[in-house]
Chains A and B, each alone.
Chain A
Amino acid sequence: MTTIEDPAAPIQIPVRDEATIARGERLRLLVRSPGFILGAILVGFWVVCALFGAMIAPQDPQADDILNKLVAPSGDHLFGTDRLGRDVFSRVLVGAREILITAPLATLLGTVIGTAIGLVTGYYRGLVDDITMRIVDAMLAVPVIIIAFLAIVARGASRLTIILVIGFVFSMIIAKTVRAAVLSERELDYVQAARLRNERSPYIMFAEILPNVMGPVVVEFTVRLGYAIFTIATLAFLGFGADPSIPDWGRDIEQHYAFINGGIWWAVLFPSLAIATLIVGINLIADAIAQTFER
C-alpha cells in the first residue's frame, strides 16, 4: 500500500488527553466521596491490626489469668477479660488477622473462578450455558452455611476448607454477574472483528472481552468480601472455625454469649462491634466504587 497524499485530510491532535482526565476524575471522585473515606478509615484500622496486632496489643491475647476471669472493662483491661481471664481488647485486635486472611483469599478465589465461568458461559451460550446456569441456580438455592457444614464435615475444619467452600459458593454468584455483562459485550462488533481474524475463543474471551467487564468484577469483589467476612464469622460462631489456638471474633462471641444473661456483655459486644465495623467499612467502599462505575 502506498501513501496517498491529500491535503484535505483532517487530522486532529487532541489538545488534552480527555480519557486520562476522565479516569483521573473518576478516581478523584471516588477518593473524595465521604462513604469511601469513612470505609477506608474503618477497614484501614483493621488492616493495621491484622498486620501489627501482636505488637499493638497491650497484653498477650492468649495469656490466661484465672484470678481475673470475666472482669468488667477497667483501666487494666479496656474491654474487660473473658472466661479464662484473657484480655478482650488484645484478643479483638489480634483477631482481625485470621478473618482478614481467609475472607479476601476466599473472595479472590471466588472472583477468579466465577469470572472464568461467567466469561465461558456468556460467550458460548447454548447448551454449556444452560447446564452451567441451572447448576448455579441449584447451588444458590442452598444456604451457604449448609454447604459449608457439609464441606467441613467431609474435609475437617481448616482454613483451607473454609477458603475453598466460600470461594466455590461465591464463584457461582459472581459467574452470574459476569455472564450478564458478557452477554451484552459479545454482541458488539469488535468481537465479530476478532472472529473475522480467526482469533481463538480464549483470546476473544480473556484478552478482548475481559478488560471490558472489569468494572462489574471489581464491584462484585468488594461486595462479596463483606459477605465473606460475615459468613466466616458465622461459621466460627457455630463452632466451625479454623484453628482454635488463634484468637477469632466469631468463636469468642460463641463462647461468651451465654454469659450475657448474667450481665457480662463485654466479652460479646466488643468482638461483635469489630465484625460490624469491618463489614460496614467494606460495604461503604463497595457502594462508593459501584457508584463511580455507574457514572
Chain B
Amino acid sequence: MSAEPAIQMEDLEVVYRVRGVDRPVLRGLSITIAKGESYGLVGESGCGKTTAAFTIMRYLPRNGRVVSGSIRADGADLLTMSEAEVRRLRASTISMVYQNPGAALNPAIRVGDQIAEVFRLRGHDRSESLDRAQEMLRKVQISDPAGGMRRYPHQLSGGGQQRVVIAMALASDPTLLILDEPTTGLDATVESEVLDLVAALREEFGTSVLFISHNLAVIRKMCERVGVLYAGRLVEEGEAETVFTEPRHPYTVGLLRCIPRGGLRKDRDRLDTIPGYLPQLGADLTGCVFADRCGLVQEICRTDEPPLHPLGNGHSSRCHFHDKAAEVPYTASSIPEPGTAPANGDGLVRLEHASKTFSHEGSTVRALVDVDLSIAAGETLGLVGESGCGKTTLARVLLGLTAPDDGSTVELDGRRLAARVVKRDREQVRALQTVFQNPDSALNRRFSVRRIIGRALEKLVGLHGKRREERLKEIASSVRFDERLLSARPVQLSGGLKQRVAIGRAFAGEPRVVVCDEPTSALDVSVQAAILNLLADLQAKEGVTYLFISHDLGVVRYLADRIAVLYLGRLMEVGPAEAVFNPPHHPYTEALLSAVPTLEGEERPRIRLQGEIPSAADPPSGCVFHTRCPRYLGAICEEQEPPLAEVERGHYIRCHIPVDELRRIQAEPPPPRTSARRVEDDELTHGLTGS
C-alpha cells in the first residue's frame, strides 16, 4: 500500500433540497480507501450509500449539493474540479458499476463496440480498441469472447450483462472502482460467479474497490475493511473480520442479529429486529443518530453526538457505550407456543403430474414438468431454485391463476380443485391465498388500507358494516399494524408496513394455505426479520400452511420444514429441510448452497456451476442439469432422465449417482469438469435465444 490513498473523503456534508428545505443526507462522512484496498459500505436503504457514491462521481442530482468537506483522489480535489476535469477523471481514474446492468448498457450498440468506445476515448485507434475490448471480454470470462463482441446487450443474461459492465468499468484501468449493489438482481449462483470475478480482477488490476451493498455476507466475503452507514453518518468502521465478529455499535449488532443465518430455526430461535424506523430524510438530529432505536440509549445519547471512538487496529465506533454494544438487549419476545394444528403427515395440498407448457410464437416452453408435491397441514414447504426455474408458475397453478396442462391434478383435502380460480367454490377460494413479492404492485395505490383488507373480508367471509370493522381491527392488530393508519393509502406507508397490509389481506379469509412468493426480498434485513417473525407467529397461532418461495436460502432454512428444489421446471430434490441442507443432496442443491456467502465467513469448498441456465424452450437431454453438473457421471446423464428416487424416508433426489456414493463424494469438492466445450455451446444457444 502506498502512502497516497486511492480516495479520501473528509467531513463530507451533502444535502438534498426538497420543497425549499435543505435536508442533510451525508453527515460528516470521512472515508479513506488505500490503493488496492477493498472497502465495503453497508447500511439499510435510505442511509446514504448511493449518495456517497454519486458524490464521488460528481453525479449528484440537481437538487443535491455538497455543503462542506473534501474528496481527494490522486492528489486532486474532486469537488473543485471543472466539468472537463471531472470527465477526464471518470474516463481514467474512477469507474462505477450500477445495480441494474440492463440500464447501464446501450441496447442498440453491440457489446464489443461499447467496450471499445472506452479505449477509443483513451486515444487508441479503432482496430486496437476492438482487440483490447475482446481481451477485456476474455478477462471477465465471457465464453467465446469473439462471438460475445457481436452480441447486443439483450442477447446476454443478467450475469453476462453485469460482466460486460464490469469489463467497461475496468477498461479505463481505474484507480478506484465503485460497485453499487452489483449483484442484487442476480441469482445466487450467478452472484457468486460475479463476485469471484471481481475478486480475481481486483488482484490482477490492483484496483481499489468501494463496494456498496445491503448484503452483509457479500461485504464480508469481498472486503477488507467496512464502514457501517446510518442516517448519513458512519457509525462503525474497521476490518471486516473484526466488525462482523466483534461489532461495537448497537446498529451493527442489530443488523447482524436480524439475519436468519445457518442453523436458526423458526421453532427454536426468534430473529431479533431493530425497533423503529430510519429517521426521515433530513430530520434534525442532535445527539446520536441511532438514539431513537437503540436499546442502550441514555440521556447523553440524545444530547451529545458521540465521537468516533478509536478501538485500536483501525476499528472505531461512534457510540458513547461502545464497550457495552454487544450487550444490547434482545428485542424479540419468546417463541410463541405451537398452535393448535401441528404438522401431520396427511397431504393438505397435493400436486400430481403438474405440468405447464407456455407456447409463444411457435416455440413451446415447459415451465413445469410433471411435478408431484404434497404439503401437510401446518407445515412450511420452501421452494427454491434459480430465476426461471418455475417457482412462480407452480404457485400460480396452485392458486388457480394459471391453468395447468391437461392431466395435471391440484387437490385440496383430497378434493380436486378446478384449474381456474373462477371455477372454484368460495371455501376453496378462501382456503388458498397469497402474499406477493412486491407490495407496491400488490396493493391498489388508490385504495385505503381499510378498503384493501375490508374488501377481502366482504368477499371471502361475507362480513359487512360493524362486524367488518371489528374484524378489520383484529386483523390489523394481529399483523401489528396500527389501526390509526387504516385510512392511509399504501404510498404513505413504509415497505414493511405495506407488506403487513398484504399479509393482513391474505389472512383476512382465514386461509388454510398461504403462498408467500419472495415476501421479503424487497425489504431491508431488519424489516425482513420482523416480517419473518410475524409469518412464524401467524403459523404457530393459526396452524396455516405455507408454500414459501425464496431465493434466499437463509430465509428458507429459517422458515421451512421441508424444501423442494426446482430446476428448469423439474423437481430435483424434495425432503425435510435439514436433510436437504446437509449431504447427501442433489448436486444442484449442493452447488446452490455453496454459492451463498455466509456471515460467518467460513470458507467452504466452492462448487462452481459452469455456464448459465439453459433455455427452458430447449432443455438439455437426459438429466436437464447435466450441462452444468459438477458431479457429471458420463453418457448416462445425457441420455436418460433419472427418476426421483426416495433415498431416505421422505427425502427424494433425482440423480443417477447412488445415494451412498453421493454421501461419500460430497464430503470433498468435485474435480473440475473436463469437457467445457458443451457448456460453451449451451451458453451460446442460450444467449442467441435471448431468454
Contact = CB atoms under 8 A, between A and B. Distances in A.
A291 interface: no
B433 A190 contact: no
Given A11-B482, A14-B488, A196 B477 contact: no
Contact of B332 (A4, A8, A14, A198): A8
A74 to B, nearest CB: 54
B11 interface: no
A12 B494 contact: yes
B510 A6 contact: no
Contacts of A4: 336, 478, 480, 537-538, 541
A281 to B, nearest CB: 30
Interface in A206-245: 208, 211-212
A123 to B, nearest CB: 14
B497 interface: yes
A11 B479 CA distance: 11
Interface in A1-31: 1-15, 17-19, 22, 25
Contact of B443 (A2, A7, A11, A190): A190
Interface in B408-462: 421-422, 424, 426, 429, 432-434, 436-438, 441-446, 455-456, 459-460
A212 B491 CA distance: 13
B421 A1 contact: no
Given A19-B491, A190-B441, A193-B436, A11 B480 contact: yes
Given A6-B333, A198-B426, A12 B497 contact: yes
Interface string B460-490: 1000000000000011011011101100110
15 contacts: A1-B510, A3-B474, A3-B478, A5-B333, A6-B537, A8-B273, A8-B275, A8-B331, A13-B485, A25-B19, A188-B441, A193-B442, A195-B421, A195-B422, A197-B456
B558 interface: no
Interface in B149-187: none
B442 A18 contact: no
Contacts of B332: 6, 8
B478 A197 contact: no
A18 B434 CA distance: 29
A48 B277 CA distance: 53
Nearest to A15: B280
A192 interface: yes
B507 interface: yes
A166 B481 CA distance: 51
Contacts of B275: 7-8, 10
A189 interface: yes
Contacts of B488: 14
B34 interface: no
Contacts of B362: none
A19 B280 CA distance: 15
B420 to A, nearest CB: 9
Contact of B438 (A17, A189, A212): A189
- Which of A7, A10, A14, A199 gathers most chain B CB within 10 Å? A10
Nearest to A14: B492
Given A5-B333, A10-B277, A15-B280, A196 B478 contact: no
B137 to A, nearest CB: 35
A2 B441 contact: no
A4 B476 CA distance: 11
B530 interface: yes
Q: Is the interface of A mostly helix, strand, loop or mixed?
A: loop
Contacts of B400: 196
B507 A212 contact: no
Contact of A189 (B442, B481, B485, B496): B442
Interface string A164-198: 00000000000000000000000011101101111
B541 A2 contact: yes
Contacts of B492: 14, 17-19
A208 B443 CA distance: 10
Contacts of A22: 491
A236 B410 CA distance: 65
B480 A1 contact: no
Contact of B459 (A5, A8, A18, A197): A197
Contacts of B542: 1
Contact of B401 (A8, A196, A199): A196
Contacts of B276: 10, 12
A198 B477 contact: no
Nearest to B432: A196
Contacts of A199: 459
B446 A211 contact: yes
A1 B475 contact: yes
Given A10-B277, A17-B492, 16 more contacts: A1-B475, A1-B478, A3-B474, A4-B538, A8-B273, A8-B331, A9-B480, A10-B527, A13-B484, A25-B19, A195-B401, A196-B434, A197-B429, A197-B459, A198-B459, A211-B446
Nearest to A191: B444
B213 interface: no
Contacts of A12: 276-277, 494, 497
A10 B537 CA distance: 16
Nearest to B484: A13
B478 A2 contact: yes
Pairs of residues from A and B, 4 with the lowest C-beta to C-beta distance, nearest first = A9-B480, A211-B446, A189-B442, A8-B331
Contacts of A19: 489, 491-492
Given A196-B401, A196-B433, A208 B444 contact: yes
Contacts of B482: 11, 13
Contacts of B421: 195-196, 198
A6 B477 CA distance: 10
B477 A3 contact: yes
A18 B331 CA distance: 30
Contacts of B530: 8-10
Contacts of A189: 436-438, 441-442
A204 to B, nearest CB: 10
A212 B445 contact: yes
Nearest to B492: A19
A21 B432 CA distance: 38
B505 interface: yes
B444 A212 contact: yes
A196 B514 CA distance: 12
B533 to A, nearest CB: 7
